Amino acid sequence: MRRAAKPPEKLTPSSVYVRIRPVTQTGDCGHTDGEAVSKQLVSWDRASVKMRDSDRNDTTRYRYTGVIPPEMEQEEAFNAMLPNMLTDFQANNRNVLFFAYGQTGSGKTHTILGETESLASVEPAPGWGIFPRVVHSTLQLMQQWREAGVRSVLVASAVEFYCGAAFDLSSAASIKSEVTIDREANVFGARSKEITSTAQLKRWITKMYRHRTTAKTNMNDASSRSHCAFILTLHKLRADGRYVKTTFSMIDMAGSERAAKTGGVRTSGLEAGLEAMKMMDAGTPEKLSIGAQGALINQELSLIHTEILKAADMHQKGLPYQAQKELSTAASFYFCACCDGRAHVGACVTVSQSPQHGFESWFSLQFAEQLAASRVPQRQIKPVPMADAQEAAVRAAQETAKKLAEWGTDPTPQGAKQWRVFALQQGAAVHAAETTVFLQKLTDARDGTDAGDADTDGSSDEECPEPAAPKLRQLTKRSALDTGKINDAFSVFIRVCPSRSRFPPLDREKAKGTTECFAVADVDFSRDPPPQRITVCTPEPASAASTSFVFDRVFGNAQGQEEVYRSAVQPYVAEVLGGTNVTIFAYGQTGTGKTHTIVGPKEDPGVVSRCVRDLLQGLPGTGKELYYEYVQLYLDEFKDLLLEEPDVELKLLDGGRSGPVLQNATRRRARHAEVVLDDLEKGAARRATRGHDLNEVSSRSHAILMLRLVDPGDDPAEAAASMFIVDLAGSERVTRSGVTGQGFDEATSINQSLTALGRVVVALLDNQCSGRNFVPYNASPLTRILRAGLGGNCKTGLIACVTQAADSVSESVNTLRFAAQATHVQNKVEKKEVADKMGVEREEIEGAGHSLILERGKGVVQLPTGPLEVCGHWDGASGSLDRVVILLTGLNAVPASLMGLSGTLAAKGCQVLVPKLPGTTEKDLESDVQALISLIDWLGLARPVLYGRDWGAIRACKFKLSHPKRAAHLVLEEHASKLGEKEYRAKMKKDPGGACFGYVQWMWFFDGAMPKSMESPPGKNMKGFKGNVDFLWPMCSKGRHDPQGRSGVTKMADMFARVVKTKAVDSYLMGDEELAELIASRLRC
């Protein structure tokens, strides 16, 4: 049977505009005049330009999509050229390629970028070009999307096509890294920068301006000697859970020119190629360089011209077009890859009015008309489920890593073809890593947390993640101690990389010098020893000159291992022996002395050796036994360091009070310090390391030592207390460390995990300020295993390591900023006596419990107060009583209304019950509470999590007031007003007063009467309320989402939230999945 022919693709004309350069105030046309020619521009209208040829005595009209006259300002030009292309990029799921083409000095860069000075304004200024206006428009639209439940990330990258190759324009001019391009126009190796504001855009564009290659010629004082592509990538997660990615590439092409006019020496193509190889040589004559550059530019423009028209011709004949391998330059390959229907193609062809440049204008107008007449396909990108996109990104990362590993230990293939394949695979690895990061960012934004900027060249230390909320941003500008607050549960110490005669300084440090970059001084503070302030003294970078922070202690390079241990770590040993969990971890750039601090050499041991000795010395008085495990996290997989050749997969489990547990990890009892330390020394030797430009012996994995105090006869996994000591691998920029191949994969994995760590810290602080509750612990195995030490049941000590090396001051400042943010993390440390008492009470309650079996999700419990109907998802045989959630309905609501949420919670490993409480009016509140405590006692539940919807939330509050120790956490939701616009209108038509009914119950119970004002304190009914609460309220007005609270709903929600000592969270867009994730996370609090 013959297969049906594929239907021909719809062909669309390219959008081509001609822009006439205005005459300047001095009366010229923007550049030095040349010889007079016969061709002259004579007139133009809205869609055509006329040119006269005096030799032939005739006039030719050239037609286009539109003409931008010289008097038209930048904003008008933008509105004339870009609306359709912008809509395709933002809303129609199409890629866009827009380029500026024309003679040198005719205004291409002015059209694309505009004037950098104009970017000082955060709103569009008259001098703004196309690129900043596209960014501004997209940022505004993203804000509207956010209010509608659509999450998005906008990322910018820049590529310079110079001398036939492609380079990352964000790299400094002297160390530009080469990038590669595949047949689908994907650019690999160019650093991506998330853009969140126009202020940030100004800094980025200014940097790109500074890095591009220019030269002074007779026609232009700053003539572009390369084509520059500014690429915007929009990652979008729609409200229906589907993901789509589109790109908008704007290319400022180098201008066509004649050597006689520019002042260069005319060269042939061969001579130009030879001169291109010597361009960076200071001895190359300037005129020869300009001539060679011009020849290469003209050759590329001619090739691009030919291929674009060839692609259009093949499409019109119904034949596929594909960029040829033989295309000699990166620029031509990129353009032609976009011509295969992958983008909506548009162009602005700039021409001069000068009669002396009529020949160049004629050539540009001819090309523009041919391009305007061409027709090419424009394919729409289909959104895919977010889970599929994430799976594809992870799979791509794994496949590219596998391909790179096949090159072996020598990452330098021989031959141009082999090198291109290798470079493509290496670039694809970075691209996959970038995609994974941005997909996770979208998911986190949907789940309630926004990470800071993400620079994804495999580097996490360009900027420390910065919170978006103004209040939080203000909070983290200073450390907790700097604001006068003492955080005993999370102490932060700074260590300046010590001088080590055993390890001679690297050539890099010798060359850059190790001058004193920091000044340290005691702070007047009522504590002994006092905190210390560290100030950055070097003027590089400029923004760091006034940077200073206050920390618990700052250890200079003259202070040894003993003093660091005694001041920073030894107090925690007593805490562990007393039954408190402790986490110690070292953080910082690669090569700053983290491993030296944590492990150290035998003759000058670090934290690990001294902790083990002190723990064993203090052990006899506790009646406990000490066990230890030692693992590394390498490429996101845990490896056992206590085994010579580990062959068992280690699985990370949440664990109990003493922190996470690694299933199948080797666990040994510690009896003698020397035996333990010998074991750990052998394990450290198995740890992955690699030498590179920044560190001769760089750790390529995170090492975790887990020490657990256990009662004799108990399972070591159920420890009385634990101490985790973590030596984090160092963050690094791959462009500085010089790693390739497997080393590149290692650096990317390290930086991604450290980025996840930074985002967890930001989310924890954000929650304290905004009332949000989601923390992305699951983004990385590193943050999962450190969970207890980051906002959990643990005391934490962070040792942040920095270096005096002058070339690393920006990385050191980022480390200090991260450390300052960490000082605000609030851990929930549980006292041992309280925990022991609660444990005994829990055992007594559970021991008196009964088993419950539900048939088809329904059952009846015979309580002392009478029979009680229940439904839900309950496994009476093997279900855990540690993960129980009780869902409480509103008045007159049937329990079945919560069965959907119950099923979603059950899928997350929860035991769920929905009781049908006996009360039918507000007066039955006491009897409802009595029935609920009877049910909890009958089941033997110590402290379940309670979720209350509408009046069910009032029931939960009353229960907590009556039995404060019998509910672990409350999740309260106002659900009655969560209506769509159509539902709202129908309800108001039936009951005009119904809009207020949902609020009356809260007012009645929380205040006992109508409050006098929105700022009224809680009334008599809620006095003495204590507990952990999530308060969910749909921010909506007349059935429409209103996240800004313009209707006053926010004030009312905040008033009620203050009563339960929390902040209101907008739940209008929250579905069962997100709600269940929130409730399930409270089981681990």
pLDDT given at position 412: 46
Question: Under DSSP, is residue 487 helix (H, G, I), strand (E, B) or coil?
Answer: coil
Judgement on whether residues 821 and 934 belong to the same structural domain of the protein: no
pLDDT given at position 273: 45
Average pLDDT, integer, range 758-783: 77
365-396 confidence digits (pLDDT tens): 888 888 887 777 777 888 888 877 777 777 77
Q: Which residue type does 428 have?
A: A
Judgement on whether residues 887 and 948 belong to the same structural domain of the protein: yes
What sign does the CA torsion over 1043, 1044, 1048, 1054 have? positive
Two structure tokens written together for 1030: 């999530």
Contact 716, 710 (CB under 8 A): yes
C-alpha span between 580 and 488 (Å, rounded): 13
pLDDT of 280 over the 50 cut: no
16's enclosing H/E stretch is strand 15-20
62-87 confidence digits (pLDDT tens): 999 999 999 888 888 998 898 888 88
330-356 confidence digits (pLDDT tens): 777 777 767 666 788 888 999 988 877
809-854 confidence digits (pLDDT tens): 888 888 898 899 899 898 888 755 555 555 555 555 445 456 677 7
Residue 594 is assigned to a ligand binding site: yes
In a domain? residue 835: no
In a domain? residue 742: yes
Judgement on whether residues 870 and 894 belong to the same structural domain of the protein: yes
Q: Which residue type does 754 have?
A: L
Number of Cβ within a 10 Å radius of residue 453: 15
Helices then strands, counting H and E runs in the chain, come out as: 31, 45
C-alpha span between 637 and 419 (Å, rounded): 30
Banded model confidence at residue 796, pLDDT cuts 50, 70, 90: very high
Judgement on whether residues 390 and 283 belong to the same structural domain of the protein: no
Of 280-289, 298-307, 500-509, 585-594, highest mean pLDDT? 585-594
Q: What does the buried/exposed string (b/e) look like for 498-524 if buried means 16 or more CB atoms within 10 Å of the residue's CB?
A: beeeeeeeeeebeebeeeebbebeeee
pTM for the model:
0.45
Q: Which residue type does 304 have?
A: I
Residue that terminates a domain, selected from 353, 377, 401: 377
490 vs 779, residue with greater confidence: 490
Q: Residue 229's closest CA among 133, 323, 160, 299?
A: 160
Number of Cβ within a 10 Å radius of residue 358: 24
What does pLDDT average to over the chain?
75
In a domain? residue 478: no
Using alpha carbons, list the distances in angstroms from residue 619 to 711, 715, 923, 972. Answer: 11, 18, 57, 45
Judgement on whether residues 106 and 196 belong to the same structural domain of the protein: yes
Judgement on whether residues 40 and 151 belong to the same structural domain of the protein: yes
Residue 109 is assigned to a ligand binding site: yes
Q: Which residue type does 348 have?
A: C
In a domain? residue 473: no
Residue 699 has φ and ψ, to the nearest 5°, of: -70, 130
pLDDT given at position 279: 42
pLDDT given at position 150: 82
In a domain? residue 105: yes
Domain count, the chain: 4
Radius of gyration of the chain from its Cα atoms, rounded to whole angstroms: 33
Judgement on whether residues 818 and 854 belong to the same structural domain of the protein: no
Burial class of 242 by CB neighbour count within 10 A (0 to 12, 13 to 18, 19+): middle
Alpha helices in 416-514 (DSSP H): 416-447, 470-475, 507-512
Of 71-80, 138-147, 433-442, highest mean pLDDT? 71-80
Of 130-144, 428-442, 572-586, 955-969, highest mean pLDDT? 572-586
Contact 774, 1032 (CB under 8 A): no
Contact 363, 116 (CB under 8 A): no
Contact 220, 29 (CB under 8 A): no
In a domain? residue 461: no
Residue 104 is assigned to a ligand binding site: yes
Contact 986, 1039 (CB under 8 A): no
Judgement on whether residues 404 and 343 belong to the same structural domain of the protein: no
Per-residue HEC secondary structure of 264-308 comes to CCCCCHHHHHHHHCCCCCCCCCHHHHHHHHHHHHHHHHHHHHHHH
Q: Can you give the residue range of the structural domain that contains 887?
A: 850-1082
DSSP 1016: P
Contact 487, 480 (CB under 8 A): yes
Q: What residues form DSSP beta bridges with 48?
A: 63
Q: What residues form DSSP beta bridges with 798?
A: 492, 585
Contact 261, 298 (CB under 8 A): no
Q: Residue 980's closest CA among 1069, 853, 1063?
A: 1069
C-alpha span between 635 and 700 (Å, rounded): 9
Using alpha carbons, list the distances in angstroms from residue 772 to 657, 713, 971, 1065. Answer: 24, 42, 13, 6
Banded model confidence at residue 642, pLDDT cuts 50, 70, 90: very high
Pairing of strands 637-640, 625-634: antiparallel
Range of weakest confidence among 6-10, 408-412, 670-674? 408-412
Residue that terminates a domain, selected from 426, 447, 468: 447
C-alpha span between 869 and 917 (Å, rounded): 8
Question: Under DSSP, is residue 593 helix (H, G, I), strand (E, B) or coil?
Answer: coil
Per-residue HEC secondary structure of 147-186 comes to HCCCEEEEEEEEEEEECCEEEECCCCHHHCCECEECCCCC
| CB within 8 Å of 878: residues ≥ 6 apart | none
C-alpha span between 38 and 21 (Å, rounded): 20
C-alpha span between 790 and 796 (Å, rounded): 8
Contact 733, 457 (CB under 8 A): yes
35-66 confidence digits (pLDDT tens): 556 788 888 998 899 988 887 888 899 999 99
What sign does the CA torsion over 576, 623, 659, 945 have? negative
Question: Under DSSP, is residue 344 helix (H, G, I), strand (E, B) or coil?
Answer: strand
Judgement on whether residues 815 and 929 belong to the same structural domain of the protein: no
Of 135-149, 162-176, 661-675, highest mean pLDDT? 661-675
Q: Residue 814's closest CA among 766, 765, 751?
A: 751
Residue 538 is assigned to a ligand binding site: no
Q: What does the buried/exposed string (b/e) look like for 945-972 if buried means 16 or more CB atoms within 10 Å of the residue's CB?
A: bbbbbbbbbbbbbbbbbeeeebbbbbbb
Residue 102 is assigned to a ligand binding site: yes
Residue 908 is assigned to a ligand binding site: no
Banded model confidence at residue 272, pLDDT cuts 50, 70, 90: very low
% of residues, the chain, pLDDT over 90: 13
266 vs 869, residue with greater confidence: 869
Q: Residue 1034's closest CA among 1083, 989, 977?
A: 977
C-alpha span between 285 and 265 (Å, rounded): 10
Judgement on whether residues 812 and 856 belong to the same structural domain of the protein: no
Judgement on whether residues 294 and 390 belong to the same structural domain of the protein: no
HSE value, Cβ hemisphere, 13 Å, CA-based, for 842: 13
Two structure tokens written together for 491: 């102490």
Check which CATH number belongs to the domain holding 804 and give it.
Answer: 3.40.850.10
DSSP 893: -
pLDDT of 566 over the 90 cut: yes
Q: Residue 462's closest CA among 729, 736, 212, 211?
A: 736
Residue 592 is assigned to a ligand binding site: yes
Banded model confidence at residue 1006, pLDDT cuts 50, 70, 90: low
Write out the DSSP string of 505-571.
Answer: PPHHHHHH-----EEEEE---SSSSPPEEEEE---SSGGGTT-EEEESEEE-TTS-HHHHIIIIIHH
Banded model confidence at residue 405, pLDDT cuts 50, 70, 90: low
C-alpha span between 428 and 502 (Å, rounded): 40
Judgement on whether residues 195 and 329 belong to the same structural domain of the protein: yes
In a domain? residue 471: no
Residue 588 is assigned to a ligand binding site: yes
Number of Cβ within a 10 Å radius of residue 136: 17
C-alpha span between 106 and 257 (Å, rounded): 11
C-alpha span between 1030 and 773 (Å, rounded): 8
654 vs 1039, residue with greater confidence: 1039
In a domain? residue 1014: yes
HSE value, Cβ hemisphere, 13 Å, CA-based, for 102: 30
Residue 106 is assigned to a ligand binding site: yes
pLDDT given at position 994: 59
**Hey, what's the torsion of the CAs at 119, 120, 125, 129, to 10 degrees?**
-10
Phi-psi region of 1078 (alpha: psi -120 to 50; beta: other; left: phi over 0): alpha
Tokens 């999740």, located at residue: 971
| CB within 8 Å of 578: residues ≥ 6 apart | 721, 832
Average pLDDT, integer, range 579-585: 92
Question: Under DSSP, is residue 1023 helix (H, G, I), strand (E, B) or coil?
Answer: coil
% of residues, the chain, pLDDT over 70: 69
C-alpha span between 843 and 940 (Å, rounded): 9
Two structure tokens written together for 1048: 């006053």
Burial class of 865 by CB neighbour count within 10 A (0 to 12, 13 to 18, 19+): middle
Q: Residue 500's closest CA among 695, 353, 685?
A: 695
Check which CATH number belongs to the domain holding 857 and give it.
Answer: 3.40.50.1820
C-alpha span between 177 and 718 (Å, rounded): 51
Residue that terminates a domain, selected from 792, 826, 860: 826
For the chain, the straight-line distance linking the first and the last C-alpha, in angstroms and rounded, comes to 63
Residue 105 is assigned to a ligand binding site: yes
Q: Residue 825's closest CA among 780, 769, 755, 784?
A: 769
